[in-house]
Amino acid sequence: MKKLFSILIVFTTAILFIACGSDKPDDLPASQTASVTKSFTMLAAAGANTTSEVSIAMSDFTAISEYVKYVNAALVQTSSFIQISGITTAQEVELTNVTLSLKSDSKKKIVLPTITANDKLMELTQLTFLQTVMDEINRKGSSSLVLSYTSTHQLSTPVILTIKMDTRFTFD
């Protein structure tokens, strides 16, 4: 009987230590907003179909760097956008067939309108695509985006496509 009682005490003590031990930091917030900005530089000869790639990792969201392993959900905020800049009045620009897609699944993509001027795109279509990107980052730790486009004219100065993702992270 003493043996059974001793085993029960040891087992109960072990369970208490395991249950009380947590690796979660004491200052773990319920949620926090963090941002990341990534850019593509577009230069191309007239008529050239060009492709470039950029990766976004969970570690790029520096405001949550110490809480990355506790992320439960990530929701892209409406302040996120895709922006085209660098087009001057002296430069004739027409970029057609502009597509952003996930490298891991080319069916998950967004087709942007023909680019002829600087613009900021932050409509539901763009935000939905950015949420798809964020879902992959949350699931896999990173996501690679592929930008493809055709330039009607020679691009002598770079056109920049910037992706800014403001994301609300919740922690578990």
Domain coordinates in residue numbering, the chain: 26-171
Give me the CATH code for the 26-171 domain, please. Answer: 2.60.120
Predicted model pTM: 0.84
CB count within 10 Å of CB 67 equals 18
Rounded distance between C-alpha atoms, residue 85 and residue 166, angstroms: 19
* Nearby residues of 16 by Cβ (< 8 Å), 6 or more positions away: none
List average pLDDT for each run of 10 residues in the chain, which is 172 residues long: 67 58 82 98 94 97 94 97 95 95 98 97 98 98 98 93 98 92
Rounded distance between C-alpha atoms, residue 48 and residue 88, angstroms: 21
* Nearby residues of 50 by Cβ (< 8 Å), 6 or more positions away: 42, 43, 44, 148, 149, 150, 151
DSSP string computed for 105-168: -TTSEEEPPPB-S-EEE-SHHHHHHHHHHHHHHHHHSEEEEEEEEEESS---S-EEEEEEEEEE
pLDDT at 11: 64
Cα angle, residue 133 at apex, residues 129 and 139 outer, rounded to 5°: 140
**The residue type at 19:** A
